[in-house]
Amino acid sequence: MKVDVIVIGSGQAGVPLAARLAESGRDVIIVEAGHLGGSCVNVGCTPTKTMVASARAAHVARGAARLGVETGAVAVDLAAVVDRKNAIVEQWRARVRRRLEGAGERLKLIEGRARFVGEREIEVNGERHMAETVIVNVGARPRTLPIRGLEQVDWLSSSTIMELRKRPDHLVIIGGGYVACEFGEMFRRFGSQVTIMQRGEHLLAREDTEISEAIEEAFRTEGIEVVLNAEVVEAEERDGDVAVHCAGGQQTQGSHVLVAVGRVPNTDDLGCEAAGIELDDRGFIKVDDSYRTSAVGVYAVGDCYGGPQFTHNSWDDHRILYDILMGRREGGREGRIVPSVVFTDPQVARAGLSEREAKAQGIDYEVAQMPFGHIARAIEIDETAGVMRVLVDPKTERILGAALVGYEAGELLHSLLMLMQAGTSARALVDVQMVHPALAEGLQTLVMKLERFALR
């Protein structure tokens, strides 16, 4: 079959691109090998944040006595948590199907695995299809590590751990990024003993030390064991448990092991060579700022090109690529701000540069820092853990970067994001009248810590 556009993968960019291109009059095929909606809906944001909400409910109930509220013993029914999660995931899958069906006759969904067999030509379910334009949105999957003995033990990935219906007695997590942190806190709150084995010096290694230390302190307060500088090299079954051994000699033993060490692109079985699509040495598709691959007429969006792996980033790729394909946009994605949030409690939210990155790039900055617990509302609602930092350009007074650790920091970040996007001076935060008592008041107090914004 020959069409105008083929989209491979129904991820966060693929679905809106396929639907909108069909609605604009193109004949479009979208191919999906697994469940509709990709990682976000099925194994990423939706299921994790649904389960994080259950974990938080347990945490709040356990701490209610601090606010003078008696609850009695708190127990978590993990099977019920997983059933609720599955029901919400199903709702989203159905919404994605409705979105595709609603795009009209020009859009055809093929459920099967696509493979390139030539330039802009794919094979799926034994049939071949060609298009003027092919958009690759194949996403990524959990990475494994060459740990001796790992294949002999029953280890969990970020996907399979969300199917457990009985809580682990002791969950050992290999990794220290956001997925490791979110699951670590979640299962601690479900009642498991949790040990996080992180190879680097700190959790969330991309962040400034002050930020990582804030989350490590919060984790220790909750009784999560955080082992740093622990490079796991071997795993073995021992008396029905799993023992893991580190290069430095440390070892620990738990009932379950979660491996959360990043994600690899789904490009290994895609036939990229046949299509002339170049990959980098980690298997990510090489693209320019306009998502063009080395093959003419073939674009790549979302996690598979090695940019920041977030749903909002993939969705934003769709927005930009759509405008490029419609001839309404000159530039690509250069200069865009990519925010991120770790949905732990306190959350870790960041946009723009960290202090370490500013230093490495030789960028001039002023930095302000303030404990989250200095915010009146944080004290009132008993959510004082965390720290906030902002970097400001001394010449333009624009915000270069912000990192917030605190309750609903992901929501708070958006006030700063708007200013960053608008290219406005951070002085706007001083001049605006903010509501008392709101958490956002803390952002005003934070920037006033800088000499230039201090009230005299």
For the annotated catalytic residues, the residue numbers are 436
Contact between 32 and ligand FAD by CB under 6 A: the answer reads yes
Which of 299, 343, 372, 453 touches ligand FAD by CB under 6 A?
343
DSSP string over 31-80: EESSSTTHHHHHTSHHHHHHHHHHHHHHHHHHHGGGGT---------HHH
Establish if 259 lies at the interface with ligand FAD (CB under 6 A).
no
Query: Cβ(68)–Cβ(148) under 8 Å?
Result: no
Residue of 293, 303, 291, 302 lying closest to 333 (CA atoms): 291
| Phi (first) and psi of residue 239, to 5 degrees | 50, 45
- Are 266 and 283 spatial neighbours (Cβ–Cβ below 8 Å)? no
State yes or no: residue 38 binds ligand FAD (CB under 6 A): yes
Residue nearer to ligand FAD on the CB measure, 263 or 389:
263
For residue 420, give Cα distances in angstroms to 339, 389, 391, 417, 434.
11, 15, 11, 5, 18
For ligand FAD, which is the closer residue by CB, 59 or 129?
129
Q: Report how far residue 216's alpha carbon sits from residue 218's, in angstroms, rounded to the nearest whole number.
A: 5
> From the CB of 164, what's the least distance to ligand FAD, in Å?
14
Total Cβ atoms within 10 A of residue 439: 23
- Binding ligand FAD (rule: CB under 6 A), the pick from 190, 291, 310, 453 is 310
Reference 130, options 315, 6, 36, 263; nearest CA is: 6
Provide the minimum distance between the beta carbon of 311 and ligand FAD in the complex, in angstroms, as a whole number: 4
CB-based closest residue to ligand FAD: 139
Instruction: Using CB under 6 A, pick the residue from 143, 286, 312, 374 that binds ligand FAD.
Output: 312
- Name the nearest CA neighbour of 367 among 208, 143, 158: 208
Of 54 and 311, CB closest to ligand FAD:
311
Give the nearest distance from C-beta 442 to ligand FAD in angstroms: 23
Q: Does 344 bind ligand FAD (CB under 6 A)?
A: no
Among 7, 134, 171, 270, binds ligand FAD (CB under 6 A): 270
Interacting residue ranges for ligand FAD, rule: CB under 6 A: 8-13, 31-34, 38-40, 43-45, 48-49, 113-114, 137-139, 158, 179, 266, 270, 302-303, 309-312, 314, 343
